Amino acid sequence: MVAVWGGAVVAVINARKKGVAATTVRKISGLLTAASCSVLAADLQADSVSEATASGSDSAVNMTTATLKNKPNLGADEGLSSKADENSNWRVKTAVLSYSEEGRIQVNQALLKVTRESDSGSLQFKVDTDTVTGPSMSAAVSSSEVQTFSNPSGSLETVTAAGELPEWVIESHRRSSVSVNKEDILNSDYSINYGARYSYELSYKSKSITAGISRNFDRKNTQLSFSTLFEDAEVLPIGGVVKPGEKTIIRADYTDEADFKTAWNNLRTGDSERKRAYELVTGITQVINRDAIVQFNYSYGQVNGYQNDAIKLVSIIDANGNPEANVYENRPDHRERQSVYVHGKYSLAKNQVLDLSYRYYWDDWSINSHTVAAGWQFELGSNWTLEPQVRWYKQSSADFFQQSIFADGAVAVIPDYMSADYRLAATNNYTLGVNLDYKFDSGKALSMRLALYEINPEDDSSSKRGRLNGIDLTPTIRSTVFMMSYDF
Amino acid sequence: MGKFVRQVCLLTCITALTGCASSGFSLGVKPWQKGTLSKDSMQIKHSQLQAEFDSHIYFAREASSGGGMGGGGCGCN
Q: Higher pLDDT residue, A169 or A358?
A: A358
Q: In this predicted structure, what is the pLDDT of residue A406?
A: 96
Helix A59-70 and helix A20-33, axial crossing angle in degrees, nearest 10: 80
Encode pLDDT of A329-349 as tens digits.
999 999 999 999 999 999 998
Q: Which of residues 360-379 of A touch B (CB under 8 A)?
A: 360-363, 365, 367, 369, 371, 377, 379
N- to C-terminal Cα separation, chain B: 35
Rounded distance between C-alpha atoms, residue A245 and residue A413, angstroms: 10
Q: What is the DSSP string of A18-47?
A: T-HHHHHHHHHHHHHH-TT-----S--HHH
Give the nearest chain B residue to A202 (CA atoms): B75
Rounded distance between C-alpha atoms, residue B37 and residue B39, angstroms: 6
φ/ψ of residue A76, rounded to 5: -70, 135
Chain A with chain B: Cβ pairs closer than 8 A = 237
Contact: A48, B66; criterion CB under 8 Å: no
In this prediction, residues A168-183 reach a mean pLDDT of 92
* DSSP reduced 3-state for A399: coil
Residue type, A149: F
Rounded distance between C-alpha atoms, residue B39 and residue A70, angstroms: 11
Q: Are strands A313-317 and A404-406 parallel, antiparallel or unpaired?
A: parallel
**Burial degree of A255 (CB within 10 A; 0-12, 13-18, 19+):** exposed
**Cβ pair A274, A246 in contact under 8 A:** no
Q: Which of residues 279-308 of A touch B (CB under 8 A)?
A: 279, 281, 283-291, 293, 295-299, 301
Rounded distance between C-alpha atoms, residue A296 and residue A116, angstroms: 28
Residues 6+ apart with CB under 8 A from A228: A210, A211, A212, A278, A279, A280, A281
Contact: A359, B64; criterion CB under 8 Å: yes
- pLDDT, chain B, mean: 73
In this prediction, residues A98-124 reach a mean pLDDT of 95
Q: Alpha helices of A190-335 — where are they, by DSSP H?
A: 257-266
In this prediction, residues B17-38 reach a mean pLDDT of 74
**Cβ pair B40, A335 in contact under 8 A:** no
N- to C-terminal Cα separation, chain A: 40
**Residue A72: C-alpha distances to residues A42, A98, A139 (Å):** 10, 33, 55
pTM of the predicted model, to two decimals? 0.81
Encode pLDDT of A436-445 as tens digits.
999 999 889 9
Least CB–CB distance from B57: residue in A99, A199, A363: A99
Residue B27: pLDDT band (50, 70, 90) is: confident
Residue among B42, B64, B7 at smallest CA distance from A287: B42
- For residue A53, which residues of chain B lie inside 8 Å, CB to CB? 32
Q: How far is A58 from chain B (nearest CA, A)?
A: 8
Residues 6+ apart with CB under 8 A from A190: A8, A11, A213, A214, A215, A216
Q: Which of residues 159-198 of A touch B (CB under 8 A)?
A: 170, 173, 175, 177, 197
| Rg for chain A, CA atoms, rounded | 27
Q: In this predicted structure, what is the pLDDT of residue A339?
A: 95
